[in-house]
Amino acid sequence: GAVVSQHPSWVICKSGTSVKIECRSLDFQATTMFWYRQFPKQSLMLMATSNEGSKATYEQGVEKDKFLINHASLTLSTLTVTSAHPEDSSFYICSGPTGGNTEAFFGQGTRLTVV
Amino acid sequence: AQSVTQLGSHVSVSEGALVLLRCNYSSSVPPYLFWYVQYPNQGLQLLLKYTTGATLVKGINGFEAEFKKSETSFHLTKPSAHMSDAAEYFCVLARQTGANNLFFGTGTRLTVIP
């Protein structure tokens, strides 16, 4: 199957700093990628849809100025958590495009801890 | 509205015992249902999926799941647990039409006791 590589797998940062998470499709091109996050004891929830060449689409309640998404090429999407705070500590994971009955391909996920 | 509920955030079984991970869903349209597994420090890997047709679907590593519309369930089973089955399991729903994002259960961590 297709491979999605996500880095870093875990990161600890100080409150107020920014963290960039990369998501690369290694063997396919993706005009769309998805970013999810999971808080403890909760489901993975869609944060935003990353669109190559245009602005990302954010889900309700997700601050677009805080979670900057850049889809610079057909193989790279990045999520930058700006001015991170402890409440942003979570598990973030990206996936390639899904098409209803087709399998989604996920990155390894990033565990972000803000101290 | 779509949602997925996984009963039991942690399940422990003995090696060789039956594995049963429960998943119930809610969907206003016919769903596609998936089970993904996540091993430590790895991405999510597809175990199996139900789209249409046969309601009993078989996946990798001896897992299978049965789609029961009347019970809105899609439970995952394996007759005999192996140590290598220890992982996090996610039940996931996709809508057949409309937006193509996914709806996740909260996950079940399976521990296999030797």
* DSSP letter string, chain A: ---EEEE-SEEEE-TT--EEEEEEESSS--SEEEEEEE-TTS-EEEEEEEETTS--EEPTT--TTTEEEEEEETTEEEEEE-S--GGG-EEEEEE----SSSPP-B---EEEEE-
Distance of alpha carbon A106 from alpha carbon A97, whole angstroms:
10
Instruction: Tell if the CB–CB gap between B94 and A46 is shorter than 8 Å.
Output: no
Q: Which residues contact A110 (CB under 8 A, 6 or more apart)?
A: A6, A7, A8, A9, A10, A11, A21, A91, A92, A93
Residue of B nearest to A39 (CA): B106
Residue A105's pLDDT is what? 86
pLDDT at B41 > cutoff 90 = no
Q: Tell how strand A10-13 and strand A110-114 pair up.
A: parallel
Task: Inform me whether the pLDDT recorded for B28 exceeds 70.
Answer: yes
Please give the mean pLDDT across all residues of chain B: 91
Residue A99: pLDDT above 70? no
Amino acid making up residue B88: E
Read off the pLDDT of each residue in B20-33 and give the average, rounded to a whole number: 92
Q: Which of B2, B27, B38, B104 to mutate to test the interface with A (most CBs of A within 10 A)?
A: B104
Q: Is the peptide bond before B40 cis (omega within 30 degrees of 0)?
A: no
Which stretches of chain B sit within 8 Å of chain A by CB?
4, 9, 32, 34, 36, 38, 41-44, 46, 49, 51-52, 90, 92, 94-97, 100-107
Which residues from chain B sit within 8 angstroms of residue A34, using beta carbons?
101-102
**Residue A99 C-alpha, separation from nearest chain B C-alpha, in angstroms:** 6
Contact B96 A97 (CB under 8 A): no
Per-residue pLDDT, B100? 61
Query: Quick check: A2 pLDDT over 80?
Result: no
d(CA A46, nearest CA chain B) in Å? 7
- Gap between the Cα atoms of B53 and B32, Å rounded: 11
Percent of all residues in chain A with a pLDDT value above 90, rounded to a whole number: 65
d(CA B45, CA B29): 25
Q: Is the pLDDT of residue B25 over 60?
A: yes
Q: Does A109 touch chain B (CB under 8 A)?
A: yes
- Residue A100 confidence class, pLDDT cut points 50, 70, 90: low
Task: Say which of B9, B100, B104 has its CB closest to residue A99.
Answer: B100
Per-residue pLDDT band for B98 (boundaries 50, 70, 90) equals low
How far is it, in rounded angstroms, from Cα A104 to Cα B44? Answer: 9
Question: Of A29-43, A57-71, B68-82, B87-101, where does mean pLDDT reach its minimum?
Answer: B87-101
The answer on pLDDT for B17 being more than 90 is: yes
Q: Is the pLDDT of residue B96 over 90?
A: no
